[in-house]
Amino acid sequence: MMTEPETPSPPEPVRLPRGPHGLPRGLIAQNQRQRLIAAMVRVCAAKGYNEVAVADVLEASGVGRETFYELFEDKRACFLAAHAVLVDDLFAAVQKAYETPGPWPQRVRSALAAALNWLAVDDDVARVTMVEVAGIGPSFAKIFQKSFHRITAMLDEGRELSETAQELPRISSIAAGAVFSRIYEEIYLGRSAELPSLLPTLTFELLMPFVGVESAREEELRAKAA
């Protein structure tokens, strides 16, 4: 029986001790940046990006206002840094699972399992990664497209398995879009912890346009068994 990979979310950084500590300034700045990023995730998940003020992040992180503006231009810059950290970590887990040896459908199922497990670990992280990013305004579209392209690039490798790929040039986008919408809905409704239970259904929906009903159903059954 195959065990799907589990990907924990990065732990929140520990605050530095008060008083003289003799640590290099670069290390201190890095620690403070990590604290601000972790705080941004928590307060945005709790209040929503548009309702968050820099003061909220400072209070949650224990970092001073002067230091904040030394590290980030404004609230938006801090949020984008936090979001980039989360997305990169998510895709590192997905890519690692996808690169495991095996047939392409199995690799896609493993990658999908890694994504669902990663998002299920922490409600706040899932919400900021998938939902709250839309609050930054029009530039959200560019960020979304970049992430979405990373998904469709994996699926494009399976186009040769599809009998309808020539008639459906956007087959990867269609398949990924349907699965993304379901994941988004679950996170928006506060059900990110339940995402791994959707692996069989989403595996079928993601693979069916490429490998057909029968082969997609086989992977669905393997997902249930795992």
Three-class HEC string of 155-219: HHCCHHHCCCCCCCCCHHHHHHHHHHHHHHHHHHCCCHHHHHHHHHHHHHHHHHHHHHHHHHHHH
H/E run at residue 103: none
Output DSSP code: residue 122: -
Which has the higher per-residue pLDDT, 45 or 10? 45
Q: Report the pLDDT value the prediction gives residue 159, as an integer from 0 to 100.
A: 74
Three-class SS of residue 23?
A: coil
Residues contacting 160, CB < 8 A, separation 6+? none
Is the pLDDT at 165 greater than 60, yes or no?
no
Q: Give residue-wise pLDDT tens across range 174-207.
A: 899 999 999 999 999 999 999 999 999 999 999 9
Mean residue pLDDT across the chain: 86
Could you tell me how far CA 91 lies from the centroid of its own chain? 7
Report the interhelical angle of 25-47 vs 123-130 (nearest 10°): 90
Q: Report the pLDDT value the prediction gives residue 30, as an integer from 0 to 100.
A: 75
Is the pLDDT at 141 greater than 90, yes or no?
no
Task: Say what percent of the chain tops pLDDT 70.
Answer: 83
Q: Report the pLDDT value the prediction gives residue 91, as an integer from 0 to 100.
A: 95
Is the pLDDT at 26 greater than 70, yes or no?
no
Could you tell me how far CA 118 lies from the centroid of its own chain? 7
Q: Give residue-wise pLDDT tens across range 56-115.
A: 999 999 999 999 999 999 999 999 999 999 999 999 999 999 999 999 999 999 999 999
